[in-house]
Amino acid sequence: MTSPDISELTAVVLEVERHVADLGWDQPSQVYALADTSELIAREPTLASHIGDAASGSLTPVEQEPLPVGRLDEVLAGIGWPPEVLGCVLVTELVVLPPSAEQEAPFEERDIEFWAQNHPERQDVRLAVGVTRAGHHASCLRVRGDDELVVDPDLADSLVDGLLATFR
């Protein structure tokens, strides 16, 4: 199979985000392996009725076991994919604060999460980031309480780097 293009990856990232959005907010971080749909159906014919007709080169997200508890960068560092996995998508919820809040942040890392969770200007966001083995990436972001979905490949460079490292 040729490497999936960026528009295919963006479509899968949006599909995964919609799936997680249907579950509501306050979900744990979740990772999905991306498989070539036709190869997946060839290996697991019973999936054909769930997946439907697969366009050549299309990707199917496959939900993985829940991620272990811990810092996301450390959790991602422990992931490695077999050759048949063409990419992956991570969906995570984050707290975003305005730049002005940085001056008020506590110095101790263990205090930062509590402080951010209770900050009056916090915004909860759901971020979905996808990468392929070939290095393509796509991402989208949804703010809690807002129906608009922001699609921009450059929303989370550090998560892109962390996800790409799972293929090395």
- pLDDT given at position 1: 43
Please state the pTM of the whole predicted model. Answer: 0.85
- Model confidence over 40-58: pLDDT tens digits? 877 877 776 667 665 656 8
Whether residue 33 contacts residue 62, with contact meaning beta carbons closer than 8 Å, is answered with yes
Q: What 3-state class would DSSP assign to 71?
A: coil
Higher pLDDT, 102 or 89: 89
Strand partners, 63: 32
- Model confidence over 122-131: pLDDT tens digits? 888 999 999 9
Listing from the earlier edge strand, what are the strands of the sheet with 59-63? Answer: 59-63, 30-36, 87-96, 123-132, 137-143, 149-151
Whether residue 111 contacts residue 150, with contact meaning beta carbons closer than 8 Å, is answered with no
Phi, psi of 129, rounded to the nearest 5 degrees: -130, 130
Whether residue 129 contacts residue 137, with contact meaning beta carbons closer than 8 Å, is answered with yes
Longest dimension (CA), the chain: 56
Burial 13-22 (b: 16+ CB within 10 A, else e): bbbbbebbbe
